[in-house]
Amino acid sequence: MLVIGLDGATWTNLKPLADRGDMPTLQRLMREGAWGTLDSTIPALTPPAWTSLVTGTNPGKHGIYHFRHTDPGDYYQRRLNNARDIRSLTLWQRLGAHGKRVGIINVPLCHPVYPVNGFMTSDPFAPEAPQVSVYPPELAAEFRDFVADVTEYPTAQPTSRRYAKQILQFIEHNEKILLLQADTALRLMKTQPWDFFMVAWMLNDRFHHFCWRFCDPSLESSLKTDEEKQIAARCLATLRQLDTQIGRLCEAAGDNCVLVLASDHGGGPAIPAFFHTNHWLIQRGYLRLLPIWDWRRLVIGNLPRTWKAKLGVPIDSKHGLVDWSRTRVWADPLESRALAININRVGRFPEGIVPEAECEALRNKLVKELSDLRTPQGGKVFAEIHRGADVFHGPHSVNVPDLVCVLDKPLDVPASFRRDVRSSVLIVLNRHKLRDGGHEPEGIYLLHGPNIRPAGRLAAQSIVSIAPTVLALYGLPIGDDMDGEPIVAALTDEFLRAYPPHRESKPASADTPTNPAQPEYSEEDSAKIEERLRKLGYLD
């Protein structure tokens, strides 16, 4: 089986491009296979979403909620998540345990690499990125020239004269990396033994963040200047190149190989305004800040990032801002319009002030108040308000927020807590014109090849359905701990009769993959990766 992971890919632009013949491989795969929307995790963010895709479990089981890690009972995020934080078995661990040879290239949250039955590389968020480390180290030479992801992002505003040149360079750079990654994958597909091969490409996501309007066919008529049209043509050429590379890999895999195309989340145009939930919590008296003259606020807030790293200051921008002794509720930004609302519970947090007996009433009151919130135009502010335990469930859900809320379009969550509390109004326009798009929860899946029905478009599936589908296609048992069900509508009747999907009760959880030769992150590494994430708009 060959899995091509397309970070951030969405049918919003891929389907029209396939339909009109600009992506002929995709058009053929859609015609001959089974495909549909893949609903991402809440939040629709790369680390939890890829981890759910490859484990078939929700973040309450695999333990990855964000780029950054929060320990149970801690107010703050203090470091980045890495492969050792994943608490569920990945597909390659399950397949390897059944003797299948695997090859895993560039899938997020594979740093530090660990022993598998085959090989794996680290990912675009590893300290060595854009280079990768490799298990087993003997294969390192194969990846000497590999580039995991772009590291230079456009900085010029769309109104600037330098903008077109920078965007064109950015597109070109992405395309070069795609070709290099496809060549490397093809070489290893030919030289290494494998039963399961998976590569992840970041191209779609990077395009969406900076070039959404240039790669969405429905916006073509809104592009007026020659420069804009030139950029759109360049974007299209690269997406056609992506289609060609998917075709090359399929061809190399052969007709007897099942192909899975899947994305961790989708993408769409940038959301035009921010809603400042923490500002609202301050207005309502739920959240109290330290006074402006408080030494913690003065000193910590103004330290350079590198100093903060050296002093072990949490990498969370709310550090040094909140007066926990008087705060009952606060909101942590997640991503893609999602946020976590926490009650400062006695017993759970070091400075908790809300007794357990009062939490239920407080939570109900918050649900009511948040549901009633309206924009000045009369629209709802929140599209979804969930109890945390309904979204995240499992042994690593000890830290689940009391509520997980998703803002209604056109409102987004500011990535920075600091910016959220410093805002003087509830809704502000998104003035970040450079970031042209962002994540949407609707990703893609497509299955093609032996035992796959040419079913065409199927119903939307959850992201946790991919891993059980892969196991079912190998005729292997699906772990009892996996939350998803296989996409049986995509499988042929003959196959289902011969290999009915079945469950097994062990193994229930993963040992932490360890490889002492591989460090996690130094403080400098962490600062470097955070800076890159910041440029993509993820962190404050």
Least CB distance to Zn ion at residue 8 (A): 5
70 vs 204, which CB is nearer to Zn ion? Answer: 204
The SS3 assignment for 193 reads: coil
Q: What is the residue type of 431? A: R
Least CB distance to Zn ion at residue 202 (A): 7
Least CB distance to Zn ion at residue 149 (A): 11
In sequence order, what are the residues at sequence separation of 6 or more whose Cβ sits closer than 8 angstroms to the Cβ of residue 362?
328, 329, 343, 354
7 vs 243, which CB is nearer to Zn ion? Answer: 7
Least CB distance to Zn ion at residue 336 (A): 10
Least CB distance to Zn ion at residue 187 (A): 25
Structural element, H or E, at residue 36: strand 34-39
Of the candidates 321, 340, 337, 320, the residue with the CA atom closest to the CA atom of residue 329: 340
Report in angstroms the alpha-carbon separations of 532 from 168, 207, 505. Answer: 20, 15, 41
Q: What is the residue type of 477? A: P
46 vs 57, which CB is nearer to Zn ion? Answer: 46
5 vs 501, which CB is nearer to Zn ion? Answer: 5
Q: Which single residue brings its beta carbon nearest to Zn ion?
A: 46
206 vs 418, which CB is nearer to Zn ion? Answer: 206
10 vs 461, which CB is nearer to Zn ion? Answer: 10
42 vs 281, which CB is nearer to Zn ion? Answer: 42
Which position has the token pair 């009650």?
Answer: 343
Dihedrals φ, ψ of 462, to 5°?
-80, 150
Q: Which two tokens stand for residue 15?
A: 């389907």
Report in angstroms the alpha-carbon separations of 5 from 60, 203, 254. Answer: 23, 10, 18
- Per-residue b/e over 351-384, b at no fewer than 16 CB within 10 Å? ebebeeeebeebbeebbeebeebeeeeeeebbee
Residues 530, 534, 536: CA angle, nearest 5 degrees: 120
Report in angstroms the alpha-carbon separations of 369 from 281, 343, 381, 385. Answer: 11, 15, 11, 11
Q: What is the residue type of 188? A: L
329 vs 413, which CB is nearer to Zn ion? Answer: 413
Alpha helices in 65-162 (DSSP H): 91-97
Interface residues with Zn ion (CB under 5 A) are 7-8, 46, 205, 264
Least CB distance to Zn ion at residue 108 (A): 7
Least CB distance to Zn ion at residue 91 (A): 18
Least CB distance to Zn ion at residue 173 (A): 18
Rounded distance between C-alpha atoms, residue 447 and residue 453, angstroms: 9
